[in-house]
Chains A and B, each alone.
Chain A
């Protein structure tokens, strides 16, 4: 949907995923869309270097998220939110409504 602007379907999906679901790590995003992990990592690092994303280590996993200090964050979020509205409900439910609230250890999923 925003490919023309972002010039990469991977970049578009990375941004949409992080906007909708919060922090994530390369393997999770790659699995979600069946992308090559290298392609996802490349885009994440590029966006981080440009200040659009931040990353931090949690244990052994490097998590990425939209940088709250990026000066155009609000405008970028506006664009991503609008793009999400155009996605079919089934796709929104599949990729952009991940459970993020806690679930007690041992409780069946």
Chain B
């Protein structure tokens, strides 16, 4: 793997498969999914992987060191790439709900598990709902406009989070077709 020239998507596929080969299952989440679903219209430098089951941090540290990633704080860095890798503890969830089915992207024989476009929108909306983060709202809109998402499911989830008025605001922006 040529780390220096790897795109976010290729690096995510590489890391995820390398860990899977070592019996560590992950799901890519956060801004990296926005990058993938918007074809880098929004470019994240963070690859946040949720661990599917409990994994010893020491084990991750050793495995990543073998491919040139070193720990700096909570992140892992490689001297040939700007991308940072972070691992989040299980469970994989959006708000109060577990992620029941991850999406998959295939490249040759390799597979990357990541949030589905619908879950990615929920993930971004959670930041907008709870912290009033406008950047996250814009990212949710970008993903929703570039991909097929299940609006009914997002509405149901928003209701469960107690954020119906904010969902209506999101939907209004989505229908207006204006994305910053």
- What's the nearest-Cβ distance from chain B to residue A70, in Å? 9
Residue of A nearest to B96 (CB): A71
Q: Are B89 and A50 in contact (CB under 8 A)?
A: yes
- What's the nearest-Cβ distance from chain B to residue A41, in Å? 14
Q: Does A58 sit within 8 A of B, measured CB to CB?
A: no
Residue of B nearest to A56 (CB): B131
Q: Are B96 and A73 in contact (CB under 8 A)?
A: yes
The answer to whether A49 and B130 touch (CB under 8 A), given A71-B95, A71-B98, is no
- What's the nearest-Cβ distance from chain B to residue A65, in Å? 10
- What's the nearest-Cβ distance from chain A to residue B58, in Å? 14
Q: Which residues of A contact B91 (CB under 8 A)?
A: 71
Q: Identify which of A49, A56, A71 contacts B74 (C-beta below 8 A).
A: A49
Q: Which residues of A contact B127 (CB under 8 A)?
A: 69
Q: Which residues of A contact B (CB under 8 A)?
A: 49-51, 56, 68-69, 71, 73-74
Q: How many residues on chain B are close to A (CB under 8 Å)?
A: 14
The answer to whether A68 and B74 touch (CB under 8 A), given A49-B89, A51-B88, A74-B96, is no
What sequence of 0s and 1s flags, for each residue 128-153 of chain B, a beta carbon within 8 Å of any chain A beta carbon? 01110000000000000000000000
Q: Which residues of B contact A (CB under 8 A)?
A: 74, 88-89, 91, 93, 95-98, 126-127, 129-131
Q: Which residues of B contact A56 (CB under 8 A)?
A: 131
Residue of B nearest to A49 (CB): B74
Majority secondary structure, B binding face:
mixed
Q: Which residues of A contact B129 (CB under 8 A)?
A: 68
Q: Are B89 and A69 in contact (CB under 8 A)?
A: no
Q: Which residues of B contact A50 (CB under 8 A)?
A: 89
- What's the nearest-Cβ distance from chain B to residue A67, in Å? 9
A51→B89 CA distance, assembly (Å): 7
- What's the nearest-Cβ distance from chain A to residue B73, in Å? 10
- What's the nearest-Cβ distance from chain B to residue A23, in Å? 11
Q: Are A69 and B88 in contact (CB under 8 A)?
A: no
Q: Which residues of B contact A68 (CB under 8 A)?
A: 126, 129-131
Q: Which residues of B contact A74 (CB under 8 A)?
A: 96
A68→B133 CA distance, assembly (Å): 13
Shortest beta-carbon contacts, A-B, top 8: A68-B130, A71-B93, A69-B126, A50-B89, A71-B96, A51-B89, A71-B91, A69-B95
A49→B130 CA distance, assembly (Å): 19
A51→B105 CA distance, assembly (Å): 27
Q: Are A71 and B97 in contact (CB under 8 A)?
A: yes
- The CB with the most chain B CB atoms within 10 A, among A49, A50, A56, A74, is that of A49
Q: Which residues of A contact B97 (CB under 8 A)?
A: 71
